[in-house]
Amino acid sequence: MIILEEAKDLFVKLMQKNSKEREWEMGYVLFQCLNMRDPRTGDHSLLVAYYSYKMGQILNLNKEQLFLAGLLHDIGKIEMSDEVLKTDKKLSKVERKQLKNHVLQGVFLLSEMEFDSNIIEFCSQHHERIDGSGYPLGIKHGKLSLIGRIANVTDVFSALTAKRKYNHDDSYSTLESLKLMEAQQAFDPGALSVLSMVVQSDSKIKQFA
């Protein structure tokens, strides 16, 4: 997957640039722990980081901070059991509760380690939806921050375009994924259109390469 390789290259570059920064040092170690625990979640987090960085570039936000936030958004999964973290089977009610708990666990970890509030906000809102159907709080549109709306779209897009199952290669194309997300009406249309710009510019660059 070409984008994943680009995301890894960008990660190396940003680590070299920010190697003296406390947040990046801690973020690096946390990410490596998550990646060792479950490489699929590691790859997913790298994609979320990459797309969030690219959206930040277009929106003139702190793109490097968005990369770090994407890298750590699922860090709460570190405490999930293998039965929940590494399965493709339908989850029971109890298991589903454990899965959803990764947001609060992540917020707890990142707060304890005194990460910037924007990084914590990215984590806390990444499963919220503008129609209020998300979790953990069911926040509605007006209350979702820009960082949260970026996290919503980059998280789902990265999940849809990545390998959906262990030992299987099936995934949605970038175009199919964007269409599916538009149809759901649970995502901020503005954030989706910026993500679409990122995807289009990526594919244009590849046509020249």
Where on the chain is the footprint of Fe ion (CB under 5 A)? 74, 155
The residue among 19 and 133 lying less far from Fe ion, judged by its C-beta, is 133
CB 113 within 8 A of CB 64: no
b/e map 120-146, b = 16+ CB within 10 Å: bbbbbbbbbbbeeebeeeebeeeebee
CB 10 to Fe ion: min, Å: 18
The residue among 135 and 202 lying less far from Fe ion, judged by its C-beta, is 135
CB 76 to Fe ion: min, Å: 8
The residue among 123 and 198 lying less far from Fe ion, judged by its C-beta, is 123
CB 39 within 8 A of CB 1: no
CB 103 to Fe ion: min, Å: 6
CB 47 to Fe ion: min, Å: 9
The residue among 21 and 95 lying less far from Fe ion, judged by its C-beta, is 95
Alpha-helical runs (H) found in 60-188? 63-72, 82-85, 93-100, 102-112, 117-125, 146-161, 174-184
